[in-house]
Amino acid sequence: MRILILGGDGFCGWPTALYLSEQGHEVAIVDNLARRAWDIELGANSLVPIATLNERIVAWQELAGKAITVHVGDLQDYAFTGQVVRDFAPDTIVHYAEQRSAPYSMIDRQHAVFTQVNNVVGTLNVLYAMKEFAPDSHLVKLGTMGEYGTPNIDIEEGYLEVEHNGRRDKMVYPKLPGSFYHASKVHDSTNIEFACRIWGIRSTDLHQGVVYNVQTAETKRDARLSNRYDYDGVFGTALNRFCSQAATGHPLTVHGAGGQTRGFIDIRDTVRCIELAALNPAERGELRVYNQFTEQWSVQQLAERVQAVAGTMGLETTIDHVKNPRVEREEHYYNAKHTKLLDLGLQPHLLTDETVRDLLTMAVEHRDRIVLDTIPAKVNWR
Ligand code: NAD
Ligand code: USQ
């Protein structure tokens, strides 16, 4: 297949590009390199050194003998986006290219506005480019489990059967996002559903949980292919962050009571889920929603897991219940369905002590690079 990966220089996009290229698909990347600029803005970095996008592409060509084309540009620029879609003529467009940090979106008004404009306008431009230049292509859009929030009923995959005053209907599952970032994903979902309904666009909206782990079989092949490892208080996410903290002797930063439960997925399963969605496209006019995670845990459970494995490696670790900078439920019901990707053939990598040990080993190896001041989560939701 011809697969265009928007956001292909990022944490999920880069390993996806390599994996799909390795499977024999023709892959092109679009990225405006904004993620690298946000590191500079925040004084943060990837725990594992990463090569430039150019160096990455050259290394992949050398090692795998496969070409990936790159288009550096911004999805907010419609002339650019339209031209890439027209020229590449993709079968599938995988859309990762958004500002994806909840804390970043909550820094202040400017960051909230930037996040929503970047994400919503970028996605609208992609939809218009598809309508104009590639009406039969399939949009595989990265949404988030955080669109649903933490309702007191089971979370379904996108839609809910409702009976009201004696009548029944299937409706989009109610949304309760937890940040202006998560809200931008809700706005995207609304726009995508509308575009499918009026223009016959085909789309799969993958409501992905928190991604953990860093490397895949392809990114491990050479240091120049390495994936990024975010650990800072703005872009770092729960499990990977706890491993980096254990490696530096920093207490594990559980927010408040730690009962916050989320769906999690290994990066190796992320790349496979994208392939499964691409190989089994939605019908014209159809918007499918798949919940893309494999297991659910509370942050307290994750911290205890990391603490236990770190202990076996001689890393003494404490767990700190820091005052929660976010406004979120710290104890709640959580039961989210996630069978549709399994039905398509996903064989999940469930979390093992070995994976936690790999992350800890990687973090210990590079711990001199950690900027200690960036570890605490300082962005306040209030
Ligand atoms: P990332 O920030 O590492 O990668 C996103 C990439 O998109 C970056 O390389 C960035 O430069 C690029 N980008 C952003 N705005 C752009 C624009 N306007 N034009 C062109 N390029 C642009 O993020 P990630 O962790 O790889 O996440 C990818 C997607 O998956 C996001 O949409 C995110 O919401 C979703 N997601 C991520 C996670 C996670 O835990 N990382 C979980 C669920 C969903
Ligand atoms: N948390 C801690 N301590 C930390 C970091 C996080 O207790 O040091 C808690 C948070 O308060 C939250 C939970 O862990 O309750 C998850 O936070 P996170 O930073 O790991 O992930 P989140 O902000 O939800 O965002 C990440 C990605 C985002 C994606 C989302 C999937 O950055 O792009 O959309 O995961 S989901 O959570 O399902 O919405």
Residues at CB less than 6 angstroms from ligand 2: 100-102, 144-146, 182, 209-210, 237-238, 241, 253-255, 260, 262-263, 299, 326, 328, 377
267-279 vs 13-22: helix axis angle to the nearest 10?
Answer: 60
What letter would DSSP give residue 152? S
Q: Per-residue confidence at 129, pLDDT binned at 50, 70, 90?
A: very high
Per the listing, tokens 């490397």 go with 215
Q: What confidence score (pLDDT) does residue 304 get?
A: 98
Contacts of 283 (CB under 8 A, 6+ apart): 202
The arithmetic mean of pLDDT across residues 255-272, rounded, is 98
Measured in angstroms, how far is the CA atom of residue 132 from the centroid of ligand 2? 36
Measured in angstroms, how far is the CA atom of residue 12 from the centroid of ligand 1? 7
Q: What confidence score (pLDDT) does residue 117 get?
A: 99
CATH number among 3.40.80.10, 3.40.640.10, 1.10.20.140, 3.40.50.720, domain 2-374: 3.40.50.720
Verdict on whether the full-model pTM lies above 0.95: yes
Query: How many CA atoms lie within 13 Å of 121's alpha carbon, on the beta-carbon side?
Result: 11
In SS3 terms, 17-50 reads as HHHHHHCCCEEEEEECCHHHHHHHHHCCCCCCCC
The arithmetic mean of pLDDT across residues 232-247, rounded, is 98
Dist CA 373 CA 377 (whole Å): 10
Residues at CB less than 6 angstroms from ligand 1: 7, 9-13, 30-35, 74-76, 96-100, 118, 122, 142, 144, 208, 210-211, 237
Which positions are catalytic?
A: 144, 181, 185
Dist CA 296 CA 9 (whole Å): 27
Q: What confidence score (pLDDT) does residue 366 get?
A: 98
Measured in angstroms, how far is the CA atom of residue 260 from the centroid of ligand 2? 9
CB 51 within 8 A of CB 93: no
Q: Per-residue confidence at 71, pLDDT binned at 50, 70, 90?
A: very high
Per-residue tokens: 144 = 């988030």
Per the listing, tokens 């236990």 go with 308
Q: What confidence score (pLDDT) does residue 185 get?
A: 98
pLDDT tens profile 175-218: 999 999 999 999 999 999 999 999 999 999 999 999 999 999 99
Q: What confidence score (pLDDT) does residue 247 get?
A: 97
- Percent of the chain beyond pLDDT 70? 100
Q: Per-residue confidence at 14, pLDDT binned at 50, 70, 90?
A: very high
Q: What confidence score (pLDDT) does residue 161 get?
A: 97
Q: What confidence score (pLDDT) does residue 289 get?
A: 98
Q: Which atom of ligand 1 is nearest to the CA of 100?
A: 34
Q: Where do runs of H (alpha helix) occur along the chain?
A: 13-22, 34-42, 53-64, 78-88, 102-105, 109-133, 180-199, 238-248, 267-279, 299-312, 340-343, 353-365
What letter would DSSP give residue 250? P
Q: Distances in Å between the alpha carbon of 377 and those of 207, 236, 323?
A: 24, 9, 10
pLDDT tens profile 140-173: 999 999 999 999 999 999 999 999 999 999 999 9
Measured in angstroms, how far is the CA atom of residue 321 from the centroid of ligand 2? 16
pLDDT tens profile 297-321: 999 999 999 999 999 999 999 999 9
Per the listing, tokens 């979390």 go with 351
Among the listed residues 119, 27, 114, 128, the one whose alpha carbon sits nearest the alpha carbon of residue 79: 128
The H-or-E segment that residue 320 falls in is strand 319-322
Q: What confidence score (pLDDT) does residue 335 get?
A: 98
Domain boundaries, the chain: 2-374
Query: Is 363 exposed, middle or buried (CB count within 10 Å of its CB: 0-12, 13-18, 19+)?
Result: buried
